Amino acid sequence: MNTSIKSALCVLAICLLFSCTDESKKNVALQPLIPQPDNVTLDSGSFILKSGSKIYFDGNQEIKGSADYLSNLLNPATDFDFEVIQSGSIKNKHFNLRLSPDKSDLGDEGYELEITRKRVVLTAYRSAGIFRGIQTIRQLLPPSIEQQGQYNEGLALPVIAIQDTPKYSYRGAMLDVSRHFFDVDEVKRYIDFLTLYKMNRLHLHLADDQGWRIEIKSWPNLTAHGGSTEVGGGTGGFYTQEQYKEIVQYASDRYITIIPEIDMPGHTNAALASYPELNCDGKAPELYTGTRVGFSSLCVDKELTYEFIDDVIREVAALTPGPYIHIGGDESHATEKADYLKFVNRVQGIVRSHGKEMIGWDETAQANLTSTSVTQLWANKEFALQAISKGAKLIMSPASRTYMDLKYDSTTVLGLTWAGYIEVDHGYSWDPAQYMEGVNEDNILGIEAPLWSETVTNMDEIEYMVFPRMPGYAELGWSGSGEWEAYRKRLPGHGVRWEVMDIDFYRSPKVDW
């Protein structure tokens, strides 16, 4: 036999063995990825998903959770049933999820994805990395994968090799559930959005002037009365501790840590209205349904105030597997400066006494921060410098770049304008490590994009303000910085995906949708 016939037979034999059909030689369209991975090598050909494709995972039960997640992601869009099976070895024709103790350079959330015509192998050092890598697989599949009940015969992944690790360990978004209340299902949907873009922190703003949203068993009137309304006078609402646990668990199943915020000493009208004894004059104010800030303060000289805070932090800490409790501390214009500093120092101690570290908005950096406390920069660069001089790290949320409640432009109906407009390019085109003199990458824990809800009242409105900005913040957190021109070309593909996911997004004129 001459060599060319031999090799043709050989290819045929390999093809029969691995059932590689002509289909797998075809290229599939490369779907745009957000965040852009570090290293991507694209090759020709594809891995075809078929009825009978399985998801193999090695050893660890935690990875089984991710394998089930992948199966649940793929099953509804196909009429296949992606069986999840434990296996010590890599199987051709299937998905393989594996932890590798040798790959410590991938860190907690990095992953390697190797897709050939024969198989998919996703490797990570930690199980969170497997979960992040699954989101890459998800984005590499066509948007129709997000749809229910579509039989998808030509479902294919490109032949590709990806190695990817995040730059920052804190990549988050905030949701203000106080000014308007959003229920458990709405918060879960918000978590789904963060999940798709590999974010890992959800900061919940749980208490403000307009509403107290988390049940505190030792102070039940906080929610009974303080949770009974919202901006505009609606009925408000709150999470029972059981419901809150459900949110924490849903997030944790997606490797997302909830950061609970109880804002104090200002932004506390809902608490002050619920308990007269928390007021310096012993008189409870009315509930507040407007949008002013800076008028309320806990009574910093009363011992009862600190007993109250101790109870609240103890109960919230017990519901919080993550390391942080956010104490707000912003816009305390109704608190004397000296009182404010004493207050923050004392509350930092209370947070630490319950085994947690304190996060505060940038004003809190004026107090005696421990180096383990964290400052969230939103407005004041001087305060950010004070924080790092005390060894504290920063979460970068400059309002003029990251506030998803600000209008896109003058025509946006929802939203505020106090820190300017934030078009998609303006929100994306900055580098947290270059944002200000004196702050570099080492001082930064990560980035967070807040959504305040003075003007945002329902899920459609949340979606409209969050998309398309949030994926850009996710990319800045993952990659550090990016090229707007390249990024804007990746957005339209995601727009198609959002349509399939029934996400109501802003069709920015800066993007060719």
Of 123 and 297, nearer to ligand TNX (C-beta) is 297
What is the footprint of ligand TNX within residues 19-48 (CB under 6 A)? none
Return left, alpha or beta for 376; rule: phi > 0 is left, psi -120 to 50 is alpha, else beta.
beta
Of 164 and 330, nearer to ligand TNX (C-beta) is 330
Of 361 and 435, nearer to ligand TNX (C-beta) is 361
Of 31 and 455, nearer to ligand TNX (C-beta) is 455
The CA distance from 95 to 355, in Å, is 40
Confirm or reject binding of residue 452 to ligand TNX (CB under 6 A): yes
Strands (E) located in 339-456: 357-361, 374-377, 393-396, 444-451
Confirm or reject binding of residue 341 to ligand TNX (CB under 6 A): no
Confirm or reject binding of residue 416 to ligand TNX (CB under 6 A): yes
Question: Which residue out of 109, 230, 331, 363 is catalytically annotated?
Answer: 331
The CA distance from 474 to 470, in Å, is 6
Smallest distance from ligand TNX to CB 444, Å: 18
Confirm or reject binding of residue 405 to ligand TNX (CB under 6 A): yes
The CA distance from 444 to 292, in Å, is 31
Active site residue 331: yes
Confirm or reject binding of residue 361 to ligand TNX (CB under 6 A): yes
Smallest distance from ligand TNX to CB 361, Å: 4
Smallest distance from ligand TNX to CB 278, Å: 20
Smallest distance from ligand TNX to CB 196, Å: 25
Confirm or reject binding of residue 459 to ligand TNX (CB under 6 A): no
Return left, alpha or beta for 284; rule: phi > 0 is left, psi -120 to 50 is alpha, else beta.
beta
Confirm or reject binding of residue 230 to ligand TNX (CB under 6 A): no
Confirm or reject binding of residue 330 to ligand TNX (CB under 6 A): yes
| DSSP β-ladder status, 120-124 and 111-115 | antiparallel
Smallest distance from ligand TNX to CB 161, Å: 42
To 10 degrees, what angle do helices 184-196 and 469-479 make?
Answer: 50
Of 393 and 497, nearer to ligand TNX (C-beta) is 393
Confirm or reject binding of residue 182 to ligand TNX (CB under 6 A): no
- Binding-site residue total for ligand TNX (CB under 6 A)? 10
Return left, alpha or beta for 318; rule: phi > 0 is left, psi -120 to 50 is alpha, else beta.
alpha
- The owner of tokens 């109880």 is 262
CB 60 within 8 A of CB 86: no
Smallest distance from ligand TNX to CB 207, Å: 12
Q: Which residue from 378, 430, 473, 498 is in contact with ligand TNX, where contact means CB under 6 A?
A: 378
Smallest distance from ligand TNX to CB 87, Å: 49
The CA distance from 147 to 157, in Å, is 17
Residues 6+ apart with CB under 8 A from 7: none
Beta-carbon neighbour count of residue 489 at 10 Å? 13
Residues 6+ apart with CB under 8 A from 427: 401, 402, 449, 469, 472, 473
The CA distance from 75 to 152, in Å, is 10
Smallest distance from ligand TNX to CB 112, Å: 39
Confirm or reject binding of residue 403 to ligand TNX (CB under 6 A): yes
Confirm or reject binding of residue 209 to ligand TNX (CB under 6 A): no
| DSSP β-ladder status, 39-48 and 156-164 | antiparallel
Confirm or reject binding of residue 334 to ligand TNX (CB under 6 A): no
Which alpha helices (DSSP H) does 354-483 contain, by range? 381-389, 399-402, 424-428, 459-466, 469-479
Of 112 and 330, nearer to ligand TNX (C-beta) is 330
Confirm or reject binding of residue 293 to ligand TNX (CB under 6 A): yes
Residues 6+ apart with CB under 8 A from 147: 76, 77, 500
Beta-carbon neighbour count of residue 19 at 10 Å? 13
Of 127 and 402, nearer to ligand TNX (C-beta) is 402
Of 168 and 378, nearer to ligand TNX (C-beta) is 378
Q: Which residues bind ligand TNX (CB under 6 A)?
A: 293, 330-331, 361, 378, 403, 405, 416, 452, 454
Active site residues: 331
